[in-house]
Amino acid sequence: MDLKKKLIKLLEFRRELGEDYLIMPSWNEPEKVPVDKKATSREKVEFKSGVTGKADMKIEENENANNQAKSALEKHYQEIKDCQLCPLHETRHKFVYGIGNPQADLMFIGEAPGKDEDLRGVPFVGAAGGLFDKILKVVELSRDEIYIANILKCRPPKNRDPLPSEVSKCIPYLNRQIEIIKPRIICALGRVAAQNLLDTNLPLGRLRGEIHFFNRIPLVVTYHPAALLRNSNFKKPAWEDFKWIKQLCDNPGQITPYQPEPPKKLSLGL
């Protein structure tokens, strides 16, 4: 696809998400200081010409930390991939561990693998995953810089909600992943993920916009991408949530709640 068509598609998607205006960057924007790509997620390292040594050390430290986290996740995966702690192992095709940057600042947590994820062993690769990828793209996040996992590692039959007995067996696996990755922010995608992580029965509408905590890590809540596919009234408020989440990631020193927009009232067409 050529650049013009790509740009048109992107703008159309933003409009679909409810963005009816476009802010153009100022032509006088200050020149960006090149930042080492690997270092952006943990520690920003500025490279000034002629300065080596300290910066090089930081890159090396960062690479070591990244390799350590990667191997810890791999070891953990090997330990649990044949899990038989709950009956879901009998019907699963693949164990869906999680994917992404082993040192991600932002970790998304969904509910459980669906049909496509169960077949491929990767979270969010079905229709909801496609929409999720598009949203990530517009907020300029890529799967390489985030980490994605689910409350459950195995697909519940017919995508029913996870049972408390399944969650209690599986959540220690997620806890370990969080312990290794050490995200700065966790985003729960949808009611099931949010309620299980926060141990609450509050509805999603009451959980959005707030800064919650999971094991002392700030946790925010937004819609599950599948909910956006089912009801397009959720798209605009979800888009606002994602812009806020991106802002929190870009300014980790300023973790503040925002007043989320409720979705438009559903029209029953009566």
Binding-site ranges for ligand URA (CB under 6 A): 110-114, 117, 123-124, 126, 128-129, 150, 226
CB of 189 vs ligand URA, minimal distance in Å: 6
Residue 129 or 209 with smaller CB distance to ligand URA: 129
CB of 129 vs ligand URA, minimal distance in Å: 6
Closest C-alpha among 185, 77, 174, 99 to residue 144: 99
Residue 85 or 127 with smaller CB distance to ligand URA: 127
Q: CA-to-CA distance for 187 and 200, rounded, in angstroms?
A: 16
Q: Which residue is nearest to ligand URA (CB)?
A: 110
Backbone φ and ψ of 107, nearest 5°: -120, 125
The single-letter DSSP state of residue 224 is -
Neighbours of 169 (CB within 10 A): 17
Residue 34 or 130 with smaller CB distance to ligand URA: 130
CB of 120 vs ligand URA, minimal distance in Å: 10
Residue 98 or 237 with smaller CB distance to ligand URA: 98
- For residue 220, the cross-strand partners are 187
Cβ(143)–Cβ(154) below 8 Å: no
CB of 103 vs ligand URA, minimal distance in Å: 21
CB of 105 vs ligand URA, minimal distance in Å: 20
Residue 68 or 231 with smaller CB distance to ligand URA: 231
CB of 259 vs ligand URA, minimal distance in Å: 26
Residue 117 or 240 with smaller CB distance to ligand URA: 117
Q: CA-to-CA distance for 2 and 22, rounded, in angstroms?
A: 21
Cβ(172)–Cβ(129) below 8 Å: no
> Which residues have CB under 8 Å from 225's CB, separation 6+?
124, 128, 129, 131, 132, 135, 189
Distances (CA, A) of 33 to 43, 55, 139, 247: 14, 14, 21, 20
